[in-house]
Structure 1
Amino acid sequence: MTGVTMGTVRDRYRDGVRELGGRQKTSKGAPAYSRWVNRWLGRRFAAAANVAGLTPNAVTGLSALLTFAAIATLATVRPTPLVGVLIGVGLALGYALDAADGQLARLQGTGSRSGEWLDHVVDAIKTASLHLAVLIAAFRYFTIDDAWLLVPLGYSVVSGVFFFTMTLTDQLRRSARGKETQFMAADGSSSTLYSLAVAPTDYGILCLALGLVGWQDVFVPVYTLLFVATAGFVLLALPKWYREIRTLG
């Protein structure tokens, strides 16, 4: 009986992964880590959550728990190499679960405005707090010129603007096209080269970079480069998004 039960569980899991493989959001504009790593992990977490009987909101809660535990650790615990790796793993798993909640909703047919609202609120809190945690950690534990503290402060501003404008632009696109759900893969995809080029703006890459916080001499230049790349992308994207929204009427 146990063998049959385990076989059924495996079949349900595989069926879920297979079904979600054909029901992905468009990869247009998606950077490399989110496109090829995080969505891959998200499908598997979503299929496992479905077998376990979890709701999308429960998965959102697990994502928030891992993410904010990692952010709190970053701000309050001296960043040794082990602590840094744990922070990076916690953020990366939280990000994968963030991808899984929407996929689980599609798999179960339970997508809702309240679920999307909850997901965006968690993302907004994460966006507002993550770089401030880096700022606190650098002030408390780094041996570095005080001028560098402007980097996480600026990164916090850039990330907040990026998240808000990207979310608003997507909502306005969907409203103009009369679609309640986010675009599926049939609506197109970005080239491999583009996904690799915008990889420095990817939250998943930032999670991995934060795993280096225990090695200050490596972390500081990597984090600074990601900030410069993200700021440059936002400066280029804002006028493009504005022109696009104007064409929507």
Structure 2
Amino acid sequence: MTSFTLADVRERTYKKRDAWWTVFLVDPLAARLVVWTANRTAITPNQITFGAGVLGLGSAVCFALATWPWLVAGAVLFHLSFVLDCMDGKIARLKHNGSVFGAWVDFVFDRIRFFGCMLALLIGQWARTGEAVYLILAPVVTFVDLLRYLNGSQVAKTRQSMREKLRAAAQGKSVDAGVDDPESTEAPEGAAPADSGETAPVVFMEEVLRDNPDIGADQVRSGAHPAGARVIDVHKGFSSRFGRYERVRAFLLRSRVRPHLFSGIEFEMFVCVLAPLTALVALVSSLPSLIVPVLVLSCAALLLFEVVIVYKLWLATRDFGRELERLQASRE
């Protein structure tokens, strides 16, 4: 019988970069629970996902009851449901018993849990206090969260399109700089075929730095990259404007923390964990409820980081155009 260790969980299931909330506040507990669960039970990832949904339902009920003991209980249950949510993927990767449908169920349960708990929190506070600000915040928080999902999906699609076009151009294929999905055409006369082995493999600076957090961009440019590979950097514009970014990025990645410091995970945790926990602050002090300020701060922080992502993408598209022209010119 296989006996998994904590080292196995870290090596096989940890992401190379993750949200700081997950790295510091979830993984230390989730990894140990995964070791126990994998070695002593036959629980499946889908069953763990269902358990996370049950805890999420309990959290929503607590939030709806609205008084401070229930708010604290709801925050604890929401955090524990997220711990289980992280465990199901780890179990699937560790025991190779995941499924495509299970991934869909996990995603859908995540969204239902967050929106259910968020609405229960805000409607519960409105019912208890009569303050309309809680009802106003409900569509605002929903809009910000949906905007984050839509923007993340489109940014990822655009980045992938740029990478594929640059790889095709490096192989001598004719491509354009449009935003449509890249479609390689016949290689121009005299260009090496893609599978001829005459072209160097293409890697991207961001991928090299992500996989090797102990080296910097200058080291990559000076040769610290896969042997014989052509390194393409479409973030030179951003790096040149923010000189310390690469050092901060490398520092964070050494701890597996991604530079996107306020992502969807932090947003959800601030809304459904930190905000209700502030009921304790109001209890022991003369301060009014801090739920509204925390929610407003969360929305503002998420929007700020989304703006930075879009700005970085815009600069990358300019670098992409220049790289594409350079690659095409080298083939003429």
Is the TM value for this pair above 0.5? yes
Higher RCO (CA-CA < 8 Å; seq separation 6+): 1
The match for 1:137 among 118, 124, 135 is: 124
Who is 2:261 aligned against? 198
**Is 1:110 the counterpart of 2:97 in the alignment?**
yes
Identify if the C-alpha distance between structure 1 residues 107 and 187 changes in structure 2 by more than 3 Å, giving closer, same or farther. Answer: same
Asked if 1 retains the 8 angstrom alpha-carbon contact of 2:262 and 2:302, the reply is no
Matches within 5 A, 1:68-147: 68-75=57-64, 77=65, 79-142=66-129, 144=131, 146-147=132-133
Task: Tell me the C-alpha RMSD between the 2 structures.
Answer: 3.6
Q: Aligned-pair distance for 1:39?
A: 2.2
Who is 1:25 aligned against? 15
What SS does the corresponding residue of 1:22 show, helix, strand or coil? Answer: helix
**Is 1:187 the counterpart of 2:211 in the alignment?**
yes
Determine the C-alpha separation between the residues in 2 that align with 1:186 and 1:235: 22
Identify if the C-alpha distance between structure 1 residues 197 and 114 changes in structure 2 by more than 3 Å, giving closer, same or farther. Answer: closer
AA aligned opposite 1:25: K
**Is 1:160 the counterpart of 2:220 in the alignment?**
no
Identify if the C-alpha distance between structure 1 residues 152 and 69 changes in structure 2 by more than 3 Å, giving closer, same or farther. Answer: same
Which structure shows the bigger proportion of residues in helix conformation?
A: 1
Identify if the C-alpha distance between structure 1 residues 85 and 135 changes in structure 2 by more than 3 Å, giving closer, same or farther. Answer: closer
So what's the TM-score if we normalise by structure 1?
Answer: 0.73
Determine the C-alpha separation between the residues in 2 that align with 1:237 and 1:192: 17
Provide structure 1 residue ranges, at least 5 long, that are not aligned to the other structure.
Answer: 1-7, 178-182
Identify if the C-alpha distance between structure 1 residues 69 and 82 changes in structure 2 by more than 3 Å, giving closer, same or farther. Answer: same
> In terms of Rg, which structure is larger?
2
Who is 1:5 aligned against? none
Provide structure 2 residue ranges, at least 5 long, that are not aligned to the other structure.
Answer: 165-206, 214-248, 283-287, 321-332
| Total equivalences in the alignment | 226
Asked if 2 retains the 8 angstrom alpha-carbon contact of 1:86 and 1:211, the reply is no
**Is 1:212 the counterpart of 2:281 in the alignment?**
no
Determine the C-alpha separation between the residues in 1 that align with 2:308 and 2:50: 34
What SS does the corresponding residue of 1:64 show, helix, strand or coil? Answer: helix
Asked if 2 retains the 8 angstrom alpha-carbon contact of 1:33 and 1:205, the reply is no
Who is 2:299 aligned against? 227
Q: Aligned-pair distance for 1:67?
A: 1.1
Determine the C-alpha separation between the residues in 1 that align with 2:129 and 2:212: 44
